[in-house]
Amino acid sequence: DESKRSAYDQYGHAGTAGFNPGAGGYSDFSGFDGNTPFDMGDIFSSFFGGGNQGFDFGFGNSGRRQAQGGADIRYRVRLKFDEAMEGGEYEIQVQRDETCEHCEGTGSEDGKVETCSVCHGSGQERQVRNTILGQIAVMGVCSKCKGTGKSIKNECKVCGGSGVNATSEKVKVKIPAGAYDGMILRFRGGGNAGNNGSAHGDLYVEIEVETSSKFERRGNDIYSDVDIPIYMAVLGGKVDVDTVAGNVVLKIPNGTQSGSIFRLKGKGAYILNGEGKRGDHYVRINIHVPGKLNRKEKELWEELSKV
């Protein structure tokens, strides 16, 4: 199915293993069990107030080493069922390292940064390790500059030479309509700033969706139960059905049996990357049998039993 493949390629799929429910939370990113996040990078700036706010979007500068870039950040957002169905902008409080304004990320008080005398700017040095097979020469992170390739003699008094400072700020993120439990959104450059001017990490927003007392979601389809009186099951009629797309009037044909299922086309959850299309809503009919009868009702049922 090409539409499902397209949705998977863009949004990915994430399970809930290891997810700790909560009203929202922040932590260093430590992996999502191999799940593929939905990359929001192309529209990142519009979700964060119309500007890059100092975030790095390049990732093409060979002078910056990914291994020494800023750490990724994971944030959990808990949504009510109807909020996930409709999506929208949400404000979250993110704690992260941001580029030091005093030294502009150089880590140097006077702005002077020299090439590391050990690795000569490569960020790596030759190291000899002893193994059971003898000594082996390997390339490792430079012990002096920690992989930056730079040397600072006069460290910044504000950041201590790291080039970053801890901050806490409110950030607006957009949740797509139809978001599902365990979904992961990736915002490139929204993580921690790297030391000594290296690249920002990414911000990962993990979605938790509360269960609904009325609806059950299966993929893009929604399921619910509706009770109808016996006379409507026998004679037919109309009943109001609450859906995530609004109230719908369902026509009940005469002779409807308990457990019958009716489909309301296009009244389910929004299909991710579906250009406004929705799944379907399935209604299961339950026939309500009165528990107590007054005298007149009992007489009527007795008359019916003789027909």
Q: What's the mean pLDDT in 71-96?
A: 93
Count CB neighbours of 200 within 10 A. 30
Percent of the chain with pLDDT over 70: 78
Instruction: Confirm whether 2-101+161-209 and 216-305 share one CATH topology.
Output: yes
pLDDT of the residue at 73 = 93
Select the more confidently predicted residue: 120 or 85.
85
| pLDDT for 172 beyond 50 | yes
pLDDT of the residue at 39 = 65
Q: How confident is the model at residue 302 (pLDDT cuts 50, 70, 90)?
A: confident
CA distances from 45 to 41, 91, 169, 306 (A): 8, 15, 16, 74
Q: Worst-scoring range by mean pLDDT, 51-55, 134-138, 173-177?
A: 51-55
Rounded CA-CA distance 178/33 in Å is 23
252 Cβ partners below 8 Å, 6+ apart?
Answer: 228, 232, 233, 236, 237, 238, 239, 285
Select the more confidently predicted residue: 27 or 300.
300
pLDDT of the residue at 132 = 84
Q: Worst-scoring range by mean pLDDT, 19-33, 97-111, 200-214?
A: 19-33
The CATH number of 216-305 is 2.60.260.20
Q: What's the mean pLDDT in 228-235?
A: 94
**Nearest by Cα to 57 from 74, 36, 43, 71:** 43
Q: How confident is the model at residue 41 (pLDDT cuts 50, 70, 90)?
A: low
Q: Worst-scoring range by mean pLDDT, 24-38, 75-89, 138-152, 226-240?
A: 24-38
Query: Per-domain residue ranges for the chain?
Result: 2-101+161-209, 216-305
pTM over 0.85? The answer is no
Q: Worst-scoring range by mean pLDDT, 49-53, 131-135, 230-234?
A: 49-53
Identify residue 44 by its one-letter amino acid code.
F
Select the more confidently predicted residue: 35 or 245.
245
Q: What is the pLDDT of residues 100-146, one digit of tens each?
A: 999 988 889 998 888 989 998 888 888 888 888 888 888 888 888 87
Q: What is the pLDDT of residues 178-203, one digit of tens each?
A: 999 999 999 888 999 987 777 889 99
Q: Across-strand partners of 137? A: 128
pLDDT of the residue at 257 = 96
| pLDDT for 48 beyond 70 | no
The CATH number of 2-101+161-209 is 2.60.260.20
Q: What is the pLDDT of residues 264-274, one digit of tens each?
A: 999 999 998 88
Q: Worst-scoring range by mean pLDDT, 19-28, 174-183, 198-207?
A: 19-28
Identify residue 230 by its one-letter amino acid code.
I
Tell me the pLDDT of the chain averaged across its residues.
80
pLDDT of the residue at 36 = 64
